[in-house]
Amino acid sequence: MKLFLTSYLAGTKGLAEKFLSEEQPVEIVFIPTAANVEEYRGYVDEGAAVLREMGYALRNLDVAAVTRDEAAHTIASCECLCISGGNTFFLLQELKRNGLIDLIAKKVRKGMLYIGESAGAIIACPDIEYNQIMDDRAVAPELNDCIGMGLVDWYVLPHNGEFPFVETTAETIRIYGDKLDLVPLNNSQAAVVSDNNFCVMTEN
């Protein structure tokens, strides 16, 4: 099981390139859905550009805009999945609506590479409720629970100390720091997971 969990893909390009170079997937399925409810989406284009600059072909998959069968078929056949950032609750709602959480988790455990940026990193955790300080849960009215994929047993806190999230990340640490095993990441850091082990790495 190999995961690359980052705050900001464009800020960890070198680390991501090293992560991908070990497997060299032919194509990366790229899910931008979390940004559908956000005013600013520049990081989605930046992340996609970073992967293309490395020479990888991308297949865009907005899980909110395709059928359940189409989404499942695309993910079932892919070697590497990258889920971009945005609103974590909306992302989880759309993945659950299409029955994709268990499919993705199963695929990752069987060897599919997983890149999660911000919201895409958070959904790899056991539960996403702790991110309600940073993200607006109201945009996901059909989300009945906050259970994530549980690929790791700790909790990514992206954008730690980064504008405009300085206050929300500090508040998350204050409220949840004693309750959850938080792993704060700034925009130059990534948590690289190999099976049951992980390390936090910083872009040079």
Tell me the pairing of strands 113-117 and 80-83: parallel
**Which listed residue (7, 21, 118, 188) is catalytic?**
118
Query: Known catalytic residue: 159?
Result: yes
Strands across the sheet with 80-83, in order? Answer: 57-60, 27-31, 80-83, 113-117, 2-6, 189-194, 197-202
Q: Specify whether the CB–CB gap between 33 and 63 falls below 8 A.
A: yes
DSSP-derived secondary structure letter, 125: S
- Residues near 9 by beta carbon (within 8 Å), at least 6 away in sequence: 16, 43, 46, 47, 50, 51, 82, 84, 115, 117
Of 7, 77, 159, 194, which residue is the catalytic one? 159
Q: Which residues are part of the catalytic machinery?
A: 118, 159
